[in-house]
Structure 1
Amino acid sequence: MVDFPRCRVATWNEVDRWADEIAAQIRAVDRIPDTIVGLTRGGWVPARVLADRLAVKRLVSLRAQHWGVTATPQGKAELTEGLSSSVAGGNVLITDDITDTGESLALALEAVHAQGPKRAESATFLHISHARHKPTYFAEEIPKESWVWIVFPWNYWEDLGTLGTRAREINPSLEEIGKVLRERCGISIPAEHLEHVARLQGWE
């Protein structure tokens, strides 16, 4: 039987609200960083959005890998690319979109601390309550029992492609794929979006 996670499609309006909330928290304690480390891939857009709100000019990347395809953990989290630039002596904020298991963020903090920053804090838009690591700042906490896979705007088409491919194993018609996603994942996808995914994925 094909497995499907319950999902929630996040909107850009929510992203704006989450970013505003985190920026307000940081300003309230007067801890604006001079460097933001975006944990790629999921934390890169949050890094840029927060940099804009906090007037931070310096962005550094660090790549961790844990989740493989949509809602499927890929073994133990690991860093696959190191920091793109030194953060030694800096006031650093590490960003990701969500702390799900929290393992990736914990590894990122270890990597940053190893370079001797003046301060290292973390921020995620969403935080799952059972995560191993709790970020310094987050906009919304989701109880463990309410866990769903968040389809962020920056991985919308990728996630739809993965979920749609699973749904095609049940029935390959776009109408039925949409029905499966509604009933099994709890998300309603416009027909034109399914058509676009079909073109991207090369479904026959």
Structure 2
Amino acid sequence: MFGDISSATKIDEIKFKNIAFPNDPIHYIAPTYDDMNHITFLLAKQMRANGITADRIVTLAKGGWPMTRSLVDFTKIKEVASIGVKFYQKLNQRYEVPKIYQDLPVSVKGESVILFDDVADTGKSLVYVKDYLLKAGVKQVTTVTLFYKSHSVIKPDFYGPTTAAWIVFPYESRESFSFFQRKWTKEGLSNEEIDSRMKQFGARQAWLDEYRLFS
């Protein structure tokens, strides 16, 4: 099925429509909030079927934040903590050792946790934080992501659709616009052409006008 995934009963039934543009080798997908809510539901269902329980959800900032609330709802796991890790000081200036810029606000020693993020892309953040949690005394870490890319250095314990596409998330609309506005302007596209493409990602004209006004 393409486009509407609401009737999918299994992760492997979900197929997103590829978005492609002339002279652009990259293919994109643009899941909606409702799409990701349904994927979260299916992941929670999978975990329940496999007997997975946890004391807490640890969500990776910032990608894990939006759907963590749904995961809390579907799993009935009420305790949540967030952790943030970064690998770069500035563009192309990589830290020798990744930096925790937002540490856990509570002790997780002795707990079983679900480590949650929106996508396993390189997978390096998941690997680093999983190791960090185990060193902090966590008893068991179950890794869960909404999407998975096969080049990731880690395959999560539970994951949503596998894709090689560039994922344009709805909660990164302004950030995506800023990136693509610069990229496509350099490639000679007009504002109207850029807006037409952004609308295929789910952006609204009022948003684009506002983004451009204050970019």
Instruction: Report the TM range for the smaller structure's normalisation.
Output: 0.7 to 0.9
Match among 24, 43, 57 for residue 78 of structure 2: 57
Bigger relative CO (Cα 8 Å, ≥ 6 apart): 1
Matched position secondary structure for 2:110: coil
Query: In the alignment, is residue 106 of structure 1 matched against residue 119 of structure 2?
Result: no
Residue-by-residue CA offset, 1:10-36 (whole Å, 9 max, x unaligned): 112211221111101110122121100
Question: In the alignment, is residue 157 of structure 1 matched against residue 195 of structure 2?
Answer: no
- Residue 204 of structure 2 is matched in structure 1 by 193
- Of 138, 141, 146 in structure 2, the residue corresponding to residue 125 of structure 1 is 146
Match of 2:111 among 60, 82, 90: 90
Letter of the structure 2 residue corresponding to residue 178 of structure 1: D
Partner of residue 35, structure 1: 56
The worse-fitting range, judged by mean Cα deviation, of 147-156 and 74-83 is 74-83
C-alpha RMSD over aligned residues: 2.9
- Is the 8 Å Cα contact of residues 61 and 82 (structure 2) preserved in structure 1? yes
* Contact 1:78 1:107 (8 Å CA) reproduced: no
TM-score after normalising by structure 1: 0.80
Alignment partner, residue 140 of structure 1: 161
**Which position in structure 1 is the counterpart of 2:17?**
none
Shift of 1:117: 1.4
Q: Distance in 2 between matches of 1:88 and 1:177?
A: 49
For 2:65 and 2:176, locate their aligned partners in 1 and report how far apart those are by CA, in whole Å: 17
Question: CA 1:203 to 1:81, structure 2 compared with 1: closer, same or farther past 3 Å?
Answer: closer
> How high is the sequence identity, in percent, across the aligned residues?
25
Q: Which aligned pairs between 1:162-177 and structure 2 lie closer than 5 A? A: 162-171=179-188, 173-177=190-194
Q: Using the alignment, how far apart are the partners of 2:173 and 2:89 within structure 1?
A: 15
Separation of aligned partners in 2, 1:51 and 1:161: 32
What is the deviation of 1:6? 3.4
Task: Determine if contact 2:118/2:147 at 8 Å carries over to the other structure.
Answer: yes
d(CA) in 2 for partners of 1:74, 1:95 = 26
SS in 2 for 1:141: coil
**Stretches of structure 2 lacking an aligned partner (at least 5 in a row):** 1-23
1:194, distance to aligned residue in structure 2 (A): 4.4
Compared with structure 1, are the counterparts of its residues 34 and 189 closer, same or farther at alpha carbon in structure 2 (3 Å cutoff)?
closer
Letter of the 2:161 counterpart: E
TM-score (norm 2): 0.76
Q: Which runs of 4+ in 1 moved over 4 A?
A: 66-69, 72-78
How far off is 1:141 after superposition? 1.9
1:39 and 1:96 in contact (8 A); partners too: yes
2:177/2:211 contact within 8 Å kept: no
Deviations 1:147-187 (A, max 9, x none): 221111221232122212322334474213236x48xxxx7
